[in-house]
Amino acid sequence: MAVAPASERIAEIVTRLRLAHPDAQCALHHTNPFQLLCATILSAQCTDERVNTVTPVLFARYPTPEAMAAADRAELEGIIRSTGFFRNKAQSLQEASAAICERFGGEVPRAMDDLLSLRGVARKTANVVRGVCFGLAEGVVVDTHVKRLSRKLGLVDGTTPEKIEKELMALLPQGDWIHISHLLIFHGRRVCNARKPLCGQCSLAELCPSATL
C-alpha cells in the first residue's frame, strides 16, 4: 500500500492515536520513581500485567531503596520469581537500590548518566523513569511494541532500539517524545496485534503501508 513519506503522515498518525487511546499512559503501576524503576527492571522479558501482580507484594515488603538493598536475597527472589530471570533481577534490584542509597541520597537520580550507572538500567528503563516521573522529554522509549509498530507504519528504517529511537526523535516534535511510546504500546495491544492485526478496525489503516484491507 503506497503512502506518503513519514514526515508528511506523522502529525496525523499522532492525532489519530490520541483520539483512539485517550487513556494511554504508563502501564506499570507505581506511586514514585523508585517503584517505577523497580517495575521497569522487572518488566524485562515479562509482561506488564505479570509485573503488576508482583509489585504490590514487593513494595509492601520493601518500600524504600534502603529496605530493598537490605532484603534477604532468597525472600526477594521468591517474590519476583514469576517475572522470569528472577536471580539476575533480584541482584539488579538490590545493587541499584544500594547505589541509590550510597551515591544519590536515597533518591532516584534524574540524570541519564546517573541512571545508566545503576545495575539493570539501560536506556529504555532510564527513558521510562525520566519521562513518566520527571517529565523529561530527552528520549523515546523503544520497547517491542514501539519497535514493531514504528516499522509497520513506515516511520523508521532502523532495526535496533537505538537507531529507532534516533529516527523517532528526528521525526517527532519533542513534546511528543514521551507520549508516543504509550500511544504505540496501547495501539499494539488493542488493535495492531502482532499475530492478527485488526486492520479493518484501525484508524491508521489509510496511513499505514502494512495495512491489509
Residue-wise pLDDT for 75-93, tens only, equals 999 999 999 999 999 999 9
For the record, the C-alpha cell of 53 comes out as 501482580
* pLDDT band, residue 211 (cuts 50/70/90): very high
The residues, any chain, with a CB within 8 Å of residue 94's CB and separated by 6 or more, are 68, 69, 71, 73, 76
Question: Residue 35 CB: number of other CB atoms within 10 A?
Answer: 18
> C-alpha grid cell for residue 73?
536475597
Q: How much of the chain, in percent, has pLDDT values that exceed 90? A: 98
Rounded to whole angstroms, how far apart are CA atoms 155 and 12? 12
- Report the alpha-carbon distance of residue 212 to residue 209 in Å, rounded: 9
Domains and CATH numbers, the chain: 6-25+140-207 (1.10.1670.10), 33-134 (1.10.340.30)
- Contact by Cβ (8 Å): 166, 206: no
pLDDT value for 2: 79
- pLDDT for 212: 83
pLDDT tens-digit series, residues 109-121: 999 999 999 999 9
Does the structure show a pLDDT above 70 at 213?
A: no
Pairwise CA distance, residues 48 & 39, whole Å: 8
pLDDT value of position 158: 96
Average pLDDT over residues 140-154: 96
Q: What is the pLDDT of residues 155-210, one digit of tens each?
A: 999 999 999 999 999 999 999 999 999 999 999 999 999 999 999 999 999 999 99
Residue 39 and residue 28 in contact, taking contact as beta carbons nearer than 8 Å? yes
Strands (DSSP E) found in the chain: none
Would you call 212 exposed, middle or buried from its count of C-beta atoms within 10 A (0-12, 13-18, 19+)?
A: exposed
Query: Is 43 a residue whose pLDDT tops 90?
Result: yes
Euclidean distance between CA atoms 185 and 47, whole angstroms: 12
Give ∠ CA 206-207-210 in degrees, rounded to 5: 85
What's this model's pTM, rounded to 2 decimal places? 0.93
> To 5 degrees, how large is the angle CA 186–CA 187–CA 189?
65
- The closest of 73, 99, 72, 100 to 86, measured between CA atoms, is 73
Does the pLDDT value for residue 1 go beyond 80?
Answer: no
Q: Is residue 156 exposed (0-12), middle (13-18) or buried (19+ Cβ within 10 Å)?
A: buried
Hey, what's the cell of 213?
Answer: 484491507
- Cell representation of residue 181: 511510546
Mean pLDDT in residue range 139-163: 96
Is pLDDT above 70 for 52?
Answer: yes
Note whether 210 and 156 are within 8 A (CB): no
Supply the mean pLDDT for the chain: 96
